[in-house]
Structure 1
């Protein structure tokens, strides 16, 4: 069999196989979804956090210093997500994707995003300035951007045996990823997310002021316009 025949056979086999899907109550792992035809539907909140200006990081720092910065950034972001019971399902360079499910998932995900902002600014940045002389002398400043949306998504396994990963299909993961790419604010969420959040993540516990902008239409790319809200607030971690 030629390589072309092998590829054609693989594609035909996939397209002829009907997906066997179920409604999930927990965030699936690779082991819980059949590679051949499995799929899990989730009602979930998707959160993407990205390091802003990572191209500038590589340009202004040595490879070893850049690696230390990325590792420090991801270490803190991962811990904030984990401590808020988010399930991380993807790392892509300096970007992290996490899934939250449950009745209070919008509130928990929003709190996670605001804690990430605070942790990056108040924990990671000072440590970098103290420990890494190269960072201290650079004009590049570590920052983060987070995008969040909620909705239904179908989680499947894609790839081949021993070389596959979970893939989420749906508006929520796609929109959350696009929101994390937007400049101008540290956290961007859809208005439907905001409507599902508790008071504690909508208004500041310090002065009672709104922590989010008013909703406004935003072209997020691909000709798609979403009602979004933005925030530059952070929630302190004790």
Structure 2
């Protein structure tokens, strides 16, 4: 069958087929979903997106090997910290990483992971860069977004070339929050309201988060921070 007719048939099938949705408590493996209209439903989950800020300028002005080292260093630290906080890395996309948290303390765990990644940037990666490349003035910057909502996972692509796509507010908002580069950490009100006090206030009672209003998103209430979590 010619490609055009083949694709027309497949699109008709996708749009007409009824969805089969199954409840799940954890992050599913792609092999647990079919390529047909089959989805896994997480009633509530928290998504963390961590993104290097200014990577385009970096690849334009530094050797490719330097950029590769920065990517590897940042994503390695982020992935290790996420795993230590019981998160699951679900995707790497160039210079960013996506993770999902599903435990009963998922909002606190995700925010704590974000603060630890911020600590790693300032206290581990940047000093390492300065030590290895003493003549560079490169400053590593990053942005992390966190949101929580119901999520559904579906398998996309074709046989042999497929992955999961996540449908739900948290996946979109967490990614969009990384476009706000005034502070390195951004969370929604839903996350803020549900996380533990120890990631809201310091031991001496100082507020760690500043309330903002997200203008492009109908002045949605969000919170930003530059706090770090030592580990």
Question: What residue in structure 2 maps to residue 18 of structure 1?
Answer: 18
Question: How many Å separate the matches in 1 of 2:80 and 2:29?
Answer: 19
Q: Is 1:208 paired with 2:205?
A: yes
User: Is residue 212–residue 224 contact of structure 2 (8 Å, CA) maintained in 1?
Assistant: no
Question: What residue in structure 2 maps to residue 173 of structure 1?
Answer: 171
Structure 1, gaps ≥5 residues long: none
What is the DSSP-based 3-state SS (H/G/I as helix, E as strand, rest coil) of the residue aligned with 1:236? coil
Q: Deviations over 1:55-94 (max 9, x none)?
A: 1211221011111111111111111111111001011001
- Match runs of 1:20-169 below 5 Å: 20-42=20-42, 43-131=44-132, 133=133, 136-169=134-167
Question: How many Å separate the matches in 2 of 1:216 and 1:74?
Answer: 28
1:176 Cα shift? 0.6
TM-score (norm 1): 0.93
1:224 Cα shift? 4.5
TM-score (norm 2): 0.96
Question: How many Å separate the matches in 2 of 1:183 and 1:67?
Answer: 22
Question: What residue in structure 1 maps to residue 214 of structure 2?
Answer: 218
Question: How many Å separate the matches in 1 of 2:199 and 2:15?
Answer: 44
Q: Deviations over 1:5-61 (max 9, x none)?
A: 011011111112111101111111101112212201111000000001101211221
Judging changes above 3 Å, is the alpha-carbon distance between structure 1 residues 44 and 169 closer, same or farther for their aligned structure 2 residues? same
What is the DSSP-based 3-state SS (H/G/I as helix, E as strand, rest coil) of the residue aligned with 2:208? coil
User: Is residue 60–residue 138 contact of structure 1 (8 Å, CA) maintained in 2?
Assistant: no
Question: How many Å separate the matches in 1 of 2:23 and 2:151?
Answer: 10
Question: What residue in structure 1 maps to residue 197 of structure 2?
Answer: 199
Question: How many Å separate the matches in 2 of 1:193 and 1:72?
Answer: 27
Question: How many Å separate the matches in 2 of 1:23 and 1:102?
Answer: 15
Q: Which runs of 4+ in 1 moved over 4 A?
A: none
User: Is residue 212–residue 229 contact of structure 1 (8 Å, CA) maintained in 2?
Assistant: yes
Structure 2, gaps ≥5 residues long: none
Question: How many Å separate the matches in 2 of 1:24 and 1:225?
Answer: 33
